[in-house]
Structure 1
Amino acid sequence: TELQEIAPKEFEGRIKRQGVVNALDDEDFAAAVRETGRKKLIIAGVTNDVCTVYPTLTALQLGYDVQVVADAGGSPTKMADDIAIRRMENAGATITSTVQLLAELAENWTSERGGKIIPFVMGLMPQQ
Structure 2
Amino acid sequence: MKAFNIEDTAMILIDHQVGTNTWASTTPLELLQRNVIILAKFAKGTGMPTVLTSSQETNVNVQGPLMPELQEILPEEFAARIKRQGVVNAWDDENFANACRNTGKKNFVMAGVTTDVCMVAPAISALEEGFNVKVVCDACGSTNQIAEEMSWRRMERAGIGLTSTNAIVAELVKNWASTAGAIAFPLLT
TM-score by structure 1 length? 0.91
User: How many residues were matched structurally?
Assistant: 122
Aligned to 2:9: none
Matched, 1:72 2:139: yes
Structure 1 residue ranges (4+ consecutive) displaced by more than 3 angstroms after TM superposition: none
> Which sections of structure 1, spanning at least 5 residues, go unmatched?
123-128
Output one character per residue of 1:85-115: Cα deviation in whole Å (capped at 9) or x when no partner: 1110110000000010111111111111101
Q: State the match for 1:58 in structure 2.
A: 125
Structure 1 residue 38: Cα displacement: 1.7
Which structure has more RCO (C-alpha within 8 Å, separation ≥ 6)?
2
Following superposition, the deviation at residue 16 of structure 1 comes to 1.3
CA–CA distance in 2 between the matches of 1:28 and 1:8?
A: 19
- The one-letter amino acid paired with 2:157 is N
The percent of aligned pairs where both chains have the same amino acid is 53
Whether 2:115 is the aligned partner of 1:48: answer yes
**1:126 aligned partner:** none
Shift of 1:84: 0.1
Alpha-carbon distance in structure 1 between the residues aligned to 2:148 and 2:102: 31
Comparing both structures, which one devotes a greater share of its residues to strand? 2
Q: What is the CA-CA distance between 1:37 and the residue it aligns to?
A: 2.1
**Radius of gyration: which is bigger?**
1
Unmatched segments (≥5 aa) in structure 2:
1-67
Counterpart CA distance in 1 for 2:71 and 2:160 is 29
